[in-house]
Amino acid sequence: MSSAMAPVKPSGTAGPKEVELILVKEQNGVQFTSSALVSPSGQTQPSGEERETWGKKIDFLLSVIGFAVDLANVWRFPYLCYKKGGGAFLVPYLFFMVIAGMPLFYMELALGQYNREGAAGVWKICPIFKGVGFTVILISLYVGFYYNVIIAWALFYLFSSFSGELPWIHCNNTWNSPNCSDLNSTLLNDTYKTTPALEYFERGVLHLHESSGIDDLGLPRWQLTSCLAVVIVVLYFSLWKGVKTSGKVVWITATMPYVVLTVLLLRGITLPGAIDGIKAYLSVDFLRLCDAQVWIEAATQICFSLGVGFGVLIAFSSYNKFSNNCYRDAIITSSINSLTSFFSGFVIFSFLGYMSHKHNVALDKVATDGPGLVFIIYPEAIATLPGSSVWAVIFFIMLLTLGIDSAMGGMESVITGLTDEFKFLHKHRELFTLFIVVFTFLISLICVTNGGIYVFTLLDHFAAGTSILFGVLIEAIGISWFYGVDRFSDDIQEMIGQRPGLYWRLCWKFVSPCFLLVRSQSLWRCMNMTCFSQLHHWLVV
């Protein structure tokens, strides 16, 4: 037998009265002899209720890294770095990383670990802000409506790659138009010609030519629907048992991209023109730092690349042991995320340099971001290599693993957030997970119709931009000004044994909220004549 005293606030504070807890250890586990346990936050938990924890510390780290390192690290950061001053872009990027990215990342990990609840439940510390928790859960839910579609596209391409000849090499396919021109021509200089890779994506995969617009969506394409169903099944069986299963899946999904990126880099740097592409990626133009848009783009990239504001970091850290060093975790995982973005640029621009050399055009003619980079430009480059099918399989496996663990994080945010808030769902975790993934699948069917790309674009551009920034802003204000930075720092000290330094407390209370406020305001400036013409987009969303 052994006894222990539950941690309590000093008696001089307005906290709960001291409660003694007697623990009786037996062979079959630990039996609580008192009827309630006072937690460090002053909340009571039902006796005998124990929260699931990660099987190993590395499971948590890989899950956080896998969520934060997603497709945007591959298709957005390298392009921004190239367009916004090359190496000079790293100056505002690292600046915002230090004053806002890491502090907010650290804040969410600590918030979830201390309160051991999802995105809504953590606001028991300040109930007036519980709506923020439900907001981020909702955002994670509808991001899944279109994010899973990207994974389905990657799976479709993966299946298509298992062939002797890749289907986006020639123009002799049923989906090709008269404007299609084979890869061997310098069609990038001709605005009236299209590449086989472009037509394969738009006409062979999306069937965009069979839709006249968003008012003519058509029925879901059975091929993409099947791929989407496979993605949903994988997500379900990765999440249905909680972190015990998802923590094992990320051993593959979080590490595979690094293996593939390294292999592709080793192949890419051997291609003609690759060094020119890498030089263009790293070229330094410090005059671009005088452009406010460069700083805005860097701030935006930090906000979205780290994954704050989706409730995922809160959900993942809530399954940590109470004494876990969340400060060290925040530094490690956020740093790995940024380094991955930088590293992926070498891979992307080695191939873009090769494409520029092959077609004898300027690099900016082939450099792009978004889905066009990974579903048009990169497949076109791969198609020109010896053993192109093998390289295509490797590349699209990387895209799948990048997407799957990020999608797992988003769904875990929804599942954990709601099951923690509505306790009866705990006993039916498997059924509730099934409901969430099936619901997501049914809504996502809109995006795999002939005109589904229009709905996809609306959701991608207008659904999770300002709302995420505003949610994180209110979250930072709630923690720093209502709950209090001092109380929050006391909570962290109770967990890891050391109080956050002055730098972190100043960032939480002043710097990060100001950063988010300014960034949100810059996005809201779109309410000008251009944005008024797009008002119907917001209304549709």
**Which residues sit in the known binding site for Na(+)?**
66, 68-69, 73, 305, 337, 402, 405-406
Q: How far is CA 143 from the centre of its chain?
A: 10
Cβ contact 30:24 at 8 Å: yes
As given in the structure block, the two tokens for residue 352 are 């873009």
**171: closest CA among 159, 161, 184?**
184
Total count of residues recorded for the chain: 541
Cβ contact 221:199 at 8 Å: no
**385: closest CA among 463, 270, 495?**
270
Phi, psi of 110 (to 5 degrees): -70, -40
Q: Specify the residue for token string 């066009």.
A: 372
As given in the structure block, the two tokens for residue 207 are 């069937």
Residue 110 exposed, middle or buried by CB count within 10 Å (0-12, 13-18, 19+):
buried
Phi, psi of 4 (to 5 degrees): -145, 155
First to last CA, the chain: 59
Distances (CA, A) of 29 to 32, 48, 75, 155, 170: 10, 11, 49, 45, 66
What distance in Å separates the CA atoms of residue 47 and residue 39, rounded to the nearest whole number? 11
Please state whether beta strands 20-21 and 4-5 pair in parallel, antiparallel, or not at all (unpaired): antiparallel
Cβ contact 304:75 at 8 Å: no
As given in the structure block, the two tokens for residue 65 are 């890294």
Cβ contact 52:319 at 8 Å: yes
Distances (CA, A) of 513 to 4, 88, 502, 507, 522: 40, 25, 16, 8, 14
Cβ contact 228:144 at 8 Å: no
- Other beta carbons less than 10 A from residue 258's beta carbon: 17
Binding-site members are: 66, 68-69, 73, 305, 337, 402, 405-406
Phi, psi of 482 (to 5 degrees): -100, -55
Cβ contact 410:431 at 8 Å: no
Cβ contact 157:375 at 8 Å: yes
As given in the structure block, the two tokens for residue 285 are 């133009």
- 3-state DSSP assignment of residue 4: strand
- 3-state DSSP assignment of residue 29: strand
Please, which residues bridge with residue 23 across strands?
A: 32
Cβ contact 315:411 at 8 Å: no
